[in-house]
Structure 1
Amino acid sequence: MYSYIKAKLVILFTVLLVLVGCDNKKEQQPSVKTVTIEHSQGKTEVPDNPKKVVVFNTATLDIMDALNIPVTAVPQSDVHYPTFLSKYDSKEYTNVGTLFEPNYEVLSSIQPDIIIAGGRANDAYNKLNDIAPTISLDIDYNNFLGSITQRTRQLGDIFHKQNEADKLLADFNQKIEQLKQKTSTAGSALVIMVNGGKMSAYSEKSRFGFVFDVLGFKPATTFQEAGRHGNAVTSEFILSVNPEWLFVLDRDNAIGNKEAQSAQQVLNNELIKKTSAWQHNHIVYLDSTSIYISGGIQTYSHLMDQIDVALQTELAH
C-alpha cells in the first residue's frame, strides 16, 4: 500500500513540474509588439516593423519606395507601373493579383505580417483582413497635404523610418513653397483628363486638385461636383473658360492603351487653338502613368518638376 501511494505521489509531482515548466515557457515567450494605426477603414493593430509586407495601394507603394521600405509582394497582373516603380514588375516580388482583385490563394501561402490595401483594393478589405492585419492608407483629396503627411508619418512609425519620413516631408514641403512663389502670378489653370477621345475637367478638392489646392493656381472655373471621374467638358467649354494654363492627363497612355487617340490629337483642333493656353504654349502634358496609377510623394514631386520647367521657360521669355 505504501509503495502504491508513493508511486502516485511521484506521478503527481512529475505532472506538476511539467505544468509549471509549460507556464514558465509561456511567460518567457516575448509578446509581439504592435502599433495602432488609424486608417480609412478604422483602427488596426499591426506588427511593429513587419517583415512580410504586401502592398496593393500604389500611392502607398510610392511613399514606401521613397522611404526604402522592403516589400514582399505587389499586384503585377494588368498593372502599368510608372517608370520609377517599374522594379515592382520583377520576379523579385511575388505577384498577388491585380489592383482590384487579389489572389487570395497566393496571399494565404505567403502568410504576410501586414497587408496595405486601400485605393482600388478597398472592396477587398474584409477578405484581406481575414488573412493578415490590413490597413487602408488612402489619401484624402479634401485635405491632400495634411493627409499625405499623416500617411508618410504612419509608415515611418510602423517601419522605424521616422527620420527618413521627416526628411522626405521636409524636402517635399520645401519644393511646394518654392514653386508657389511662381504660381501666384502665373494666371488661371484648368486640369483635364483625356480618355477615349473624351475630356473631363477637375477643380479644387478633387482627385487631381493638387494644382489648385497645394500649388495655388487660380481655377479657370469651378464645378459643383468634384467627382472621382471629373466633369465632362468639350472644346467649346474649354474655350469659354479660356484658361491661361492647361494641365493634361492622358488616361489611355497611363493604362497602356495604344489604340485610342492621344491627348495631343484630341486637343489639336481649332477651338483649343484659340485658347490663351494654346497661344502662349502653356499646355503641359503631365506624366499620366505616374499620376493616374500611383499618386504618392514621388509622383507629386515629379509633377512639380514638370510644372517648374514650364514656368521657368515662360519666365525666360
Structure 2
Amino acid sequence: MPKVSVVIINYNYSQYLDERIQSFLGQTYRDFELLIIDNGSTDNSVDVIQQYTKDPRVSVKYYDENDSPLKRWNEGVESTQGEYVMIAASDDSCDPRLLERLVEKLDNHPSVGFAYSQSWEIDDRGNRLYLSKQLMDHLHPGLWDTDFVASGREMCQHMLFLNIIRFSGIARRSVFVSAGKFDTQLPYEADWLLWSKILLVSDLAYVAEPLTFGRTHANSLGKVVKNASVLEGRLIVIHYLLSNIEPPEHFWEIVYVPIIAYWTRLMLSGQVPLNKNLRIYGLLRVIDPHVNYRLVENLYRVSTKKLALLYKIFSKKQEVSTLK
C-alpha cells in the first residue's frame, strides 16, 4: 500500500494538465499513488491523461458529466489507500521535492494532521506573481519565514482573518476523514472550512520554501452574485471557528466590520437574490447580536456619502447653468 495518495481533479484544463501530472510523477519521494479524475471534460484532457496510464502509480477515473469537484475529491479519497492524502487542482503545479518535505513533517510529528508549504501564486502563463507569505506577514510578522510546527487551535486564530493555506498540502487520512471531508453544499470556501476543522483537532506543519505553484485566473470573482456566495462561505467558516475558539480583540474591527460594509455594497447593488441576502444576514446575526446597530451605522455612513456626492454633482450642474 502506498504511503501517500494524490488525487487530481480535472475539468477542461488540458493546457495545464500535462505539467501538473509530470510535477507529481517527477517527485523525489516515490511511495505514492496518483489518481487522476476527469470530471466530464469537453476538451482534449482525456488524450493528455491517456499518455500516463501505463505508469503503475497512475489510476484514472472518467466521468461523462461534470459534477462538484468537492464531491469528486471526496470520492477520490475514499477510493485510494494511502496513510496520507493530497488533493490537487489540475491547473496548479509543484516542486519535485514537495512530497518529500511534507511527508517528512508528518512522519516526524505524529500530532500534525496537515502539512503544507509556502506557495508562489502564478498567472495563466506560469509567471510568478507573489509569495503567499506576503499575504500573511501582517498576521504574525516573521512566522512564515522559517519552517514550523504549531498548535492547530492557535493557528485557527489566523484562519479567522484569511485562509493561510493558500493551496493544498498533505493531510493525515484519519484526520481528513474525521473532520468530515469537503462540505459539498458549500461551493466556495469549502477548503477553508475543512482546513479549519482539521486544525481544531491536530497540529499544523509548514515548510517555508515555496514548493507549490498555485495558478490564479483573471476575473475569477468578477460577478456580484458569485462574490456574495464567497462572502456567505467565509461567514460560515468564521461562525464555525467562533463556535470553537475565542477571537483576538482586533478581529471585530479588522474583519467583521469591513465584512458588513462589503455586504452593504453588494446588497445595495440590487444584484444579490433576496434569499442569499437573508442567509448572509442570518450568519451575521448569529456571529454578532449587535449586527443591526452596525448595519444601521454603516447604511447611514454610505447614505451620507452618496448624498454628499449627489449634492456635489447637483451644485456643479447649477454652476454650469448659471454660466450659460
TM range (shorter): under 0.3
Which protein has the larger Cα radius of gyration, Structure 1 or Structure 2?
1
Q: How high is the TM-score relative to the length of structure 1? A: 0.26
Q: How high is the TM-score relative to the length of structure 2? A: 0.26
